[in-house]
Chains A and B, each alone.
Chain A
Amino acid sequence: MSRGANTGSLGDLQRAFQDYLLVANDAFQAAVRDTNKADRVTLLDVYRDGYALRLIEVLTTDYPGLMAMAGPADFDHLARAYIAAHPSHHPSVRWFGKDVADFMGRTPPYNGAPAAVEMARFEWALGEAFDSPDVPPVMADALMALPPEAWETLSFTVLPSLRRFTFAFEVAQAWQRREDVEPGNLEVDAAPEPVAWAIWRPALLTSYRSLDPDEAAMLDALTAGRSFPELCETLAPFTGSEQAPARAAGLLRAWVEGGMIAGFSR
Chain B
Amino acid sequence: MSAAISANNIGFGLGLRPEHYEEIAANPGRVGWFEALSENYMVPGGRPMHWLDSIRRDYPMALHGVSLSIGSIDPLDDRYLADLKALADRVQPMWISDHLCFTGLRGTNMHDLLPLPYTEEALGHVAERVSRVQDRLGRRLVLENVSSYVTYAASELSEWDFIAELSRRADCEILLDVNNVYVSSFNHEFDALAFLRAMPRERVRQFHLAGHTHKGSHIIDTHDHPIVPDVWSLYAEAVKLFPGVPTMIERDADIPPYEELLAELDIARRIAAGAQREVAA
A residues engaging B (CB < 8 A)?
Answer: 6-11, 13-15, 17-18, 21-22, 30-33, 35-38, 40, 42-44, 46-47, 50-51, 54-55, 58, 87-94, 96, 129-134, 160, 201, 204
Q: Identify which of A18, A38, A131 contacts B45 (C-beta below 8 A).
A: A131
- Considering the chains assembled together, what is the distance between the CA atoms of A204 and B122 in angstroms? 45
Q: Which residue of chain B has the shortest Cβ distance to A22 in the bound complex?
A: B108
- Let me know if A10 and B125 touch, CB within 8 A: yes
User: Known interface pairs A14-B73, A33-B153, A89-B108. Does A131 touch B119 (Cβ–Cβ under 8 Å)?
Assistant: no
Residues of B within 8 A of A204 (CB): 46-47, 50
Q: Once the chains bind, are B121 and A9 in contact (CB under 8 Å)?
A: yes
Residue in A closest to B106 when the chains form the complex, CB atoms? A18
A-B contact pairs, 17 of them (CB 8 A): A8-B153, A8-B154, A10-B73, A10-B117, A32-B152, A33-B153, A43-B187, A47-B114, A88-B109, A90-B109, A91-B42, A91-B67, A92-B42, A92-B67, A131-B47, A132-B44, A132-B45
When the two chains form their complex, are residues B39 and A94 in contact, meaning their CB atoms are under 8 A apart?
yes
Q: Which residue of A lies closest to B187 (CB)?
A: A35
CB pair B39 A93 closer than 8 Å? yes
Contact B46 A10 (CB under 8 A): no
Q: How far is the CA of A23 from the CA of B103 in the complex (A)?
A: 16
CB contact between A37 and one of B80, B112, B122, B218 (< 8 Å): that residue: B218
Q: Is the CB of B47 within 8 A of A42?
A: no
Contact indicator A201/B220 (Cβ below 8 Å): no
Expressed in whole angstroms, the Cα–Cα distance for A121 and B139 within the complex equals: 41
Interface string of B90-121 (1 = CB under 8 A from A): 00000000000011111111111010110101
A90 to B46, CA, bound (A): 20
- Residues of B within 8 Å of A, CB-based: how many? 49
A35: contacting residue among B67, B102, B188, CB under 8 A: B188
- A132 to B50, alpha carbons, bound, how many Å? 12
Say if the beta carbon of B180 comes within 8 Å of chain A.
no
Closest 7 CB pairs of A and B: A8-B154, A134-B45, A91-B67, A38-B217, A131-B43, A131-B46, A133-B44
Q: What are the residues of chain A within 8 A of B73 when measuring CB–CB?
A: 10-11, 14
Q: Which residues of A contact B46 (CB under 8 A)?
A: 129-132, 134, 201, 204
Chain B hits for A35, CB < 8 A: 151, 187-189, 217-218
Does B72 sit at the interface, judged by CB under 8 A?
yes
Closest B residue to A32 using CB positions = B150
Chain B contact residues, CB within 8 Å of chain A = 39-40, 42-50, 67, 69, 71-73, 77, 80, 102-112, 114, 116-117, 119, 121-122, 125, 149-154, 187-189, 216-218, 220
Please give me the residue from chain A that is nearest to B102 by CB atom.
A14
Give the shortest distance, in Å, between B14 (CB) and chain A (any CB).
21
Contact check, A46 vs B45: say whether CB atoms are below 8 A apart: no
A131 to B44, CA, bound (A): 6
Give Cα distance in the complex from A47 to B112, angstroms: 8
Contact partner of B119 among A8, A93, A134, CB < 8 A? A8
A33 touches B151 (CB 8 A): yes
Residues in A with CB closer than 8 Å to B50 are 134, 204
Contact A46 B149 (CB under 8 A): yes
Whether A13 lies near B47 (C-beta < 8 A) is no
- CB of A131 within 8 A of CB of B49, answer yes
In the assembled complex, the CB of B26 is this many whole angstroms from the nearest CB of chain A, namely 17
* Docked CA distance A81–B43 (Å): 27
Q: In whole angstroms, how far apart are the Cα atoms of A22 and B107 in the complex?
A: 13
The chain A residue with its CB closest to the CB of B216 is A37
Kindly list chain A residues whose C-beta atoms are within 8 Å of the C-beta of B77. 91
Closest CB of chain B to A117's CB: distance in Å? Answer: 25
* Partner among A9, A42, A131 whose Cβ is within 8 Å of the Cβ of B217: A42
CA distance A133 to B42 in the complex (A): 11
Report yes or no: A37 in contact with B217, Cβ–Cβ below 8 A. Answer: yes
B189 CB → nearest A CB, Å? 6
Q: Which residues of A contact B111 (CB under 8 A)?
A: 51, 54-55, 58, 88, 93, 96
